[in-house]
Amino acid sequence: MKLMSWNVNGLRSCVQKGFLTYLRETDPDIACLQETKLQAGQIELALHQPYECFWNYAEKKGYSGTAVLSKATPLALRYGMETDSEPEGRLITLEFASFYLVTVYTPNAKRDLSRLSERLEWEDRFRTYLLSLDAQKPVIACGDLNVAHYEIDLKNAKSNRGNSGFTDQERDKMTQLQAAGFTKCAVKPRALALIITHKYWVGERSPTW
């Protein structure tokens, strides 16, 4: 299986810059998109393959949002963690016969860190949610987790220490996720990942145009 995970930073703009060409050339079985910034009915994709499209829109216009394009029909869908909804459209779970696929756009702490406590609470809920799925069947989690885990993941790490996405608290939450048994895929610009393992996540900061 070929899986693509991509923070498109506004899907309508990304389409104008070659998204459909890239999708056709790479031909993933499943494409997970974050930060789509869409509302229902705002885009119609001229897809080269019979993908089924699943959308989770934020209540706030032009904000957040996730999507999954899949060649295979899932057994079930979920659009939240504790409930089947998420007001900022940050999560979609697809259940297949042998695994769960979760795509996520983790909220950032904001430049002034005013949302840090909310972000850390999200991290705990997300980890608990993934583990609840993993108790049933293997999990693949992918998306933009809005964190640079290690210094090597970030340019000018020393000067960015403590900034949003690189606070000790956020990095520790990623460590906790890894300690729970999840294995990180190597992250490369516009990378595609072949998914063959058990507890798995793809990408901390997904590529953008």
Active site positions, annotated: 105, 144
Element (H, E) at 25: helix 19-26
What is the CB-side half-sphere exposure of residue 42 using CA atoms within 13 A?
17
Nearest to 36 by CA among 54, 16, 61, 63: 63
Q: How far apart are CA 166 and CA 154, in angstroms?
A: 9
CB 141 within 8 A of CB 170: no
List of residues 6+ apart from 127 with CB closer than 8 A: 173, 176, 177, 180
Paired tokens of 13: 């703009």
What are the C-alpha distances in Å from 81 to residues 48, 62, 91? 32, 22, 8
